[in-house]
């Protein structure tokens, strides 16, 4: 064989190898760049496993199906800042893909939109943080983690000397680390978008966390930093010696009777994207809401310690209190101006789990809203969505003797 043919064959082999190695990363990067494009966002939000590496939590061997309750008719409209909004139009305008109302532990309303179905696994975004809060409480109950007042470096020594090393775990849980971070998804150069592009190329989330700097005294200001939740994931993983996927499957997925496989997006080090990379179905998202609604108890078994539930939902410092803005607990949002104990898990692009303990209600909304970053677009507002949820709840009444909510007759 002539030398030039050997060289050509060698080059072709190198090109094939390079394509095998780099094409998946190129595909993930392109997916990331166009993730929120209006013509792609809906499919992107339900199809991460087609593009990204994932780890799977298998459906429970004893799946739990919510019973069907009396069918609820959604209110025709609701008020927000003095303006009336049609409920169905609001759901459409916020690009809702699934909407579920659980009342007295039964489904009273369930609907899917834009091609989603009961079995569609949709990305959680930051609702995943509330699942991580639950898992953290279990790890504490099992004595893998002894005290939230200890510094992060106790369990993650590689973060010693970084902005996180000497921060109390409690401050990480409460988004009060003092770490400098720009979480603006609409800003291409923001820290969260820099992180996202690195993640898309398989970069290490652990290494990214170690690069961040401190700008405030820990424990003094509530500043939302998604990487804080990654640090919680690092602590759970180091303390238990198990992956998030494995530990969560045993402690949450299986006992809650999740009906479908769930999956986590993972980075190049096989670490889960705990800050927002959980993917599961509308009903299975509702179960974490039901679990916290019932003080951590599920089917007669205490899955999460009651003291952890209370601590998770109790802002205990001035900078955490709900005022005009939402308050913050352990990776849960506390609703302002509430006399009914309302709290929420929230994710960007309008993912919500709303819990109202007084009326015994859980509402889940999954969405793929490409206009989310427009501050003037009312259907993007979490406060507007909250008023819709409250209007729905106002259609329930509580019997004082039974302390349970029932659907009011039309």
In this structure, the answer to whether residues 19 and 158 fall within a common structural domain is: no
Residue 13 belongs to a domain: yes
- Strands of 273-323 (E only): list them: 278-280, 297-298, 301-302
Please check whether residue 272 is in contact with residue 237, taking contact to mean a CB–CB distance below 8 angstroms.
no
pLDDT at residue 399 in the model? 52
pLDDT at residue 128 in the model? 98
33-44 pLDDT, tens per residue?
778 899 999 999
Separation between Cα atoms, residue 383 and residue 289, nearest integer Å: 19
In this structure, the answer to whether residues 14 and 59 fall within a common structural domain is: no
In the chain, which residues have pLDDT < 50?
A: 16, 18-19, 22, 401-410
Secondary structure (3-state) at 280: strand
341-381 pLDDT, tens per residue?
999 999 999 999 999 999 999 999 999 999 999 999 999 99
The neighbour count for residue 74, using CB atoms within 10 Å, is 17
pLDDT at residue 250 in the model? 98
In this structure, the answer to whether residues 75 and 195 fall within a common structural domain is: yes
pTM: 0.91
Separation between Cα atoms, residue 130 and residue 346, nearest integer Å: 9
Q: For the domain that residue 107 is a member of, what is the CATH number?
A: 3.40.710.10
pLDDT at residue 160 in the model? 98
Range of the domain at 132: 43-407
In this structure, the answer to whether residues 392 and 372 fall within a common structural domain is: yes
Structure tokens at 89: 């139009």
In this structure, the answer to whether residues 98 and 9 fall within a common structural domain is: no
Separation between Cα atoms, residue 74 and residue 77, nearest integer Å: 8
* Degrees, nearest 5: CA angle 250-53-24: 175
CA dihedral (325, 326, 327, 330) positive or negative:
negative
In this structure, the answer to whether residues 203 and 336 fall within a common structural domain is: yes
For the stretch 178-212, what's the b/e string if a residue is b when 16 or more beta carbons lie within 10 angstroms of its beta carbon?
Answer: bbebebebeeeeebbbbbbebbbebbebbebbbeb
Separation between Cα atoms, residue 101 and residue 105, nearest integer Å: 10
pLDDT at residue 410 in the model? 32
Residue 38 belongs to a domain: no
Query: In 294-362, which ranges are continuous DSSP H helix?
Result: 306-312
């Amino acid at each position: 064989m002539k030398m030039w043919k050997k060289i050509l064959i060698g080059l072709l082999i190198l090109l094939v190898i390079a394509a095998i190695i780099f094409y998946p990363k190129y595909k993930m990067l392109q997916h990331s760049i166009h993730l929120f494009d209006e013509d792609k966002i809906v499919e992107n939000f339900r199809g991460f496993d087609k593009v990204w590496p994932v780890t799977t939590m298998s459906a429970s061997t004893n799946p739990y199906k919510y019973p069907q309750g009396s069918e609820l008719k959604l209110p025709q409209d609701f008020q927000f800042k003095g303006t009336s909004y049609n409920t169905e139009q609001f759901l459409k305008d916020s690009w809702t893909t699934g909407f579920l109302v659980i009342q007295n532990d039964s489904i009273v309303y369930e609907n899917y939109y834009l091609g989603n179905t009961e079995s569609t696994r949709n990305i959680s975004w930051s609702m995943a943080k509330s699942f991580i809060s639950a898992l953290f409480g279990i790890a504490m109950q099992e004595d893998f983690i002894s005290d939230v007042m200890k510094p992060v470096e106790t369990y993650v020594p590689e973060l010693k000397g970084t902005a996180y090393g000497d921060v109390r775990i409690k401050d990480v849980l409460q988004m009060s680390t003092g770490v400098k971070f720009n979480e603006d998804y609409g800003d291409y150069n923001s820290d969260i978008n820099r992180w996202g592009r690195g993640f898309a190329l398989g970069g290490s989330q652990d290494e990214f966390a170690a690069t961040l700097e401190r700008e405030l005294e820990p424990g003094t200001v509530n500043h939302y930093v998604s990487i804080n939740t990654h640090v919680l994931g690092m602590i759970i993983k180091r303390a238990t010696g198990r992956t998030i996927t494995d530990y969560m499957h045993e402690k949450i997925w299986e006992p809650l009777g999740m009906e479908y496989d769930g999956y986590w997006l993972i980075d190049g080090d096989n670490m889960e994207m705990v800050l927002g990379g959980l993917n599961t179905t509308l009903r299975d998202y509702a179960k974490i809401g039901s679990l916290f609604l019932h003080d951590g108890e599920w089917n007669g078994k205490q899955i999460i310690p009651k003291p952890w539930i209370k601590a998770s939902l109790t802002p205990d410092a001035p900078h955490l209190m709900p005022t005009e803005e939402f308050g913050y607990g352990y990776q849960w949002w506390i609703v302002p101006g509430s006399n009914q104990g309302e709290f929420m898990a929230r994710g960007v692009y309008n993912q919500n789990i709303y819990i109202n303990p007084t009326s015994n209600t859980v509402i889940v909304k999954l969405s793929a809203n490409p206009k989310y970053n427009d501050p003037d677009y009312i259907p993007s507002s979490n406060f507007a969505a909250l008023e819709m949820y409250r209007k729905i709840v106002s259609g329930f009444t509580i019997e004082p003797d039974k302390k349970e909510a029932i659907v009011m007759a039309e």
